[in-house]
Amino acid sequence: MKSSKRAFSNPSLLTKAVLVAAIAYPVGVWAQSKTDIVISQKNRTYAPGAVSIKTGQSIKILNDDMFLHHAFIDSDEMEFDSGSMDEGESAIVKFATPGVYNVKCAIHPKMNLEVTVK
């Protein structure tokens, strides 16, 4: 009897649990939406070839070809290098500074993805 009375008279645990759930849920949704944009490397092209995102957003570059790709960005604002990406491998790139960026491929010089960061 004593222990059940103590549980009811101490609502702070329940309050904390509700608060944690209320904070964790939107953060989880936000973290997920950060990588919603997937760019496919297919037939030696980036698809789509151009994308517009907000500052702080990330894109995921996925190799849908059966051979290697190697995405990179070389600009004054940022550097990125995925290294060699095998079939099915992906890389996530975060853009922290507004601007227009060209994602190239070190293996296929004609590949170009234009990322506009607003």
Q: Is 107 in the site for Cu ion (CB under 5 A)?
A: yes
Is 58 within 8 Å of 96 (Cβ atoms)?
no
Nearer to Cu ion, 34 or 80 (CB): 80
Residue type, 20: V
Nearer to Cu ion, 46 or 57 (CB): 46
Residue 15 host element (H or E)? helix 12-33
Provide the edge-to-edge strand list for the sheet that holds 90-94. 45-47, 37-42, 58-63, 90-94
Of these, 69, 82, 85, 101, which contacts Cu ion (CB under 5 A)? 69
Of these, 105, 113, 115, 117, which contacts Cu ion (CB under 5 A)? 105
Q: Is 108 in the site for Cu ion (CB under 5 A)?
A: yes
State the residues that interact with Cu ion by CB under 5 A.
69, 105, 107-108, 111
